[in-house]
Structure 1
Amino acid sequence: MLTIWKKGSFPFSRWDLVSKMFPNRREVHTAPCHDEKKLKRVSYEDILKATNWFSLVHTISSTCIGSVYVGRFKSDKSLVAIKVFNLNEPGGYESYLIECEVLRSTRHRNIMRHVTLCSTLDSQNHECNALIFEVMVNGSLEAWLHSEQHNGILDKVLSFGQRIRIAADVAFALDYAHNELTPPLIHCDLKPNNVLLDDDMTARLSDFGSAKFLSPGLVIPKSLHDVGGTIGYVAPEYRMGCEISVGGDVYSFGVLLLELLTGKRPTDDMFVDGLSLCKFCESKFPDRVAEILDPHMSHEEHQGCAEGWIQRYIVPLVALGLSCTVESPKDRTGMKDVCAKLSDIRASFL
């Protein structure tokens, strides 16, 4: 599902526009539970009015499978993100169903929460399914790591401390999904576009349209299309038709962690002739890891002791990213251990 939190990230210029459109934004409060019967329902007409009849200026992203809009409901004036699924396209209805199931089954501070939903008929008696979420005003991690629009403006560049916190937030979400849910939940499409940042830069894992519950009857995928996922982040075993496992998410997390440190996408033009982000980091580890760091990353408080800072924080983080991206899924570090190591590093730094 290509959405606001997948490939259509919040560019900063668009959020400046949103702020002008909705100057008196209020915090949206989550429903007290995920029981659909207790959620406030909204009608198709409510969505039409909130999005000004699906106007372009309200559109955050749009693909053949669905679109995401920003709007405000007349009833409470809260600014929300409205994810409307295109049920005429293959996979549209399935994405809606799995997202609903995930939202019903999960409750965690680092997983996107829905405010309410809409399942009704539109003006032409076609089925309309939509999910309504809190707006994450700081957009996606993708935009912060790679948007050319920040042009070096300091408040649009992630500090090292922010990167550690974001990595830990994502790890906590995955640990919850893998180890606290029964059956375990596999995201299957972890990447910076699917990590959203709220007002205080807390990360929320989003877009579960490709997710799978690891139940005994889960069919082994025959192709990458069956798994979902994105080139550069998808685990190598999925390309060989192996079964879906928590190890696939661990691999994607390792890539994301290395991307946070380097500022380089796994699909960067420099990665050719067998060189990958993981191999690039491995080739510099441990003695030359300073060479892989994102030059935009700020860590002013440690400039006077750069070598000590690298040995204390960067080397362990790169080692953790590499341990998550080893070839064999059974040899990858589990998310519970990842959380423990990140928590120690974060506590030491902060």
Structure 2
Amino acid sequence: MMTLEFNEQKFKNTIKNMRLCQHENIVQFLGYCYYSEVEALEYRKKLVMAEKQERLLCFQYLSNGSLDLYVSGASSGLEWRERYQIIMGLCKGLHYIHGNNIIHMDLKPRHILLDDNMVPKISGFHLSKGFAEDQSQTLRQSSVMGTVGYIAPELKDRTAVSFKSDIYSLGVTITEILTGEKETCDTEKVVESWRTRLGTSCTDELLEQVRVCAEISIVCRDPNPEKRPDMKRVIEMLGETDC
């Protein structure tokens, strides 16, 4: 019964948060279905009534799948302009989510879907937490939630979760987009790697984009959540190199 109650709350929570998030960089929520059926079954030679429940969420179909299919290793096929577009879109989407007082809680490449034009759409709101306008934007959690490799250090200790927890996951995701790996990157090595990869198409403007994205990924992964930037600052940093 406890599991059913938890699933019920998670289902309702996802619907509530998805209805609030209407943005070009967030997967479009189309609707939901809740089905319940009661039937008589024999259990230990007794007739009991059992309830079968199904909960379905419907989202837009995105033909290019999820970002993790494109960033698993340095040999992945995305060019720099596509990667930069994805980073920009991801940051704009997360900025919008936080602006609606929602913490995503499980940001990672697998939860970033791509449309026909490789425009990113954030998905995976099943763990998301919403706040009322007058509510503290910090929560205490009783268990670790999220995906190993993307979880902020403070969540591993089951301490407070806040917008800065998403910022950490964003930093790891940007690192993967830049290098194909989760490990913290060295800015100069990333820039030189992309200088070689870009070859004759390399320009100072493109390398500056690479540099700023690498710097963002590093500062977003600061072990101290108070030292991580908010999404407004991240957008400002990206905007300074947009060309």
| TM-score interval for Structure 1 and Structure 2 normalised by the shorter chain | 0.7 to 0.9
TM superposition shift of 1:258:
1.0
Q: Deviations over 1:93-152 (max 9, x none)?
A: 33312211112222111111122221123595622211111111100000111289xxx6
**Aligned-partner Cα distance in 2 for 1:249–1:311:** 26
Q: How does 1:1-350 map to 2 (within 5 A)?
A: 91-121=6-36, 126-146=52-72, 157-179=77-99, 181=100, 184-215=101-132, 216=135, 219-224=139-144, 228-264=145-181, 266=182, 277-278=183-184, 281=185, 284-286=186-188, 288-290=189-191, 299=198, 302-303=201-202, 308=204, 311-345=207-241, 347-348=242-243
**Aligned-partner Cα distance in 2 for 1:326–1:123:** 51
Q: Secondary structure at the match of 1:126?
A: strand
**Aligned-partner Cα distance in 2 for 1:333–1:233:** 17
Q: Percent identity?
A: 26
Q: What amino acid sits opposite 2:67 in the alignment? A: L
Given that residues 222 and 241 in structure 1 are in contact (C-alpha distance below 8 angstroms), is that contact kept between their aligned partners in structure 2?
yes
Given that residues 175 and 335 in structure 1 are in contact (C-alpha distance below 8 angstroms), is that contact kept between their aligned partners in structure 2?
yes
Number of residue equivalences: 228
- Tell me the C-alpha RMSD between the 2 structures: 2.8
Instruction: With a CA cutoff of 8 Å and minimum separation of 6, indicate the structure with the bigger relative contact order.
Output: 2
Given that residues 302 and 309 in structure 1 are in contact (C-alpha distance below 8 angstroms), is that contact kept between their aligned partners in structure 2?
no
Question: Which structure 1 residue ranges, 5 or more long, are not aligned?
Answer: 1-86, 267-276
Q: Secondary structure at the match of 1:299?
A: helix
Q: What amino acid sits opposite 1:176 in the alignment? A: Y
Given that residues 37 and 53 in structure 2 are in contact (C-alpha distance below 8 angstroms), is that contact kept between their aligned partners in structure 1?
yes
Given that residues 65 and 113 in structure 2 are in contact (C-alpha distance below 8 angstroms), is that contact kept between their aligned partners in structure 1?
yes
Which residue is 2:42 aligned to?
Answer: none
**Aligned-partner Cα distance in 2 for 1:133–1:311:** 36
TM superposition shift of 1:88:
6.5
Given that residues 178 and 190 in structure 2 are in contact (C-alpha distance below 8 angstroms), is that contact kept between their aligned partners in structure 1?
no
Q: Secondary structure at the match of 2:222?
A: coil
Question: Which structure 2 residue ranges, 5 or more long, are not aligned?
Answer: 40-50
Q: What amino acid sits opposite 1:302 in the alignment? A: S
TM superposition shift of 1:299:
3.4
Given that residues 212 and 238 in structure 2 are in contact (C-alpha distance below 8 angstroms), is that contact kept between their aligned partners in structure 1?
no
Given that residues 262 and 293 in structure 1 are in contact (C-alpha distance below 8 angstroms), is that contact kept between their aligned partners in structure 2?
no
Given that residues 164 and 342 in structure 1 are in contact (C-alpha distance below 8 angstroms), is that contact kept between their aligned partners in structure 2?
no
**Aligned-partner Cα distance in 2 for 1:294–1:246:** 34
**Aligned-partner Cα distance in 1 for 2:3–2:154:** 32
TM-score by length of 1: 0.59
TM superposition shift of 1:294:
11
Which residue is 2:47 aligned to?
Answer: none
Q: What amino acid sits opposite 1:251 in the alignment? A: Y
Given that residues 119 and 129 in structure 1 are in contact (C-alpha distance below 8 angstroms), is that contact kept between their aligned partners in structure 2?
yes
Q: Deviations over 1:264-302 (max 9, x none)?
A: 1x2xxxxxxxxxx12xx1xx333x33466599xx63552
Which residue is 1:57 aligned to?
Answer: none
**Aligned-partner Cα distance in 2 for 1:299–1:99:** 41
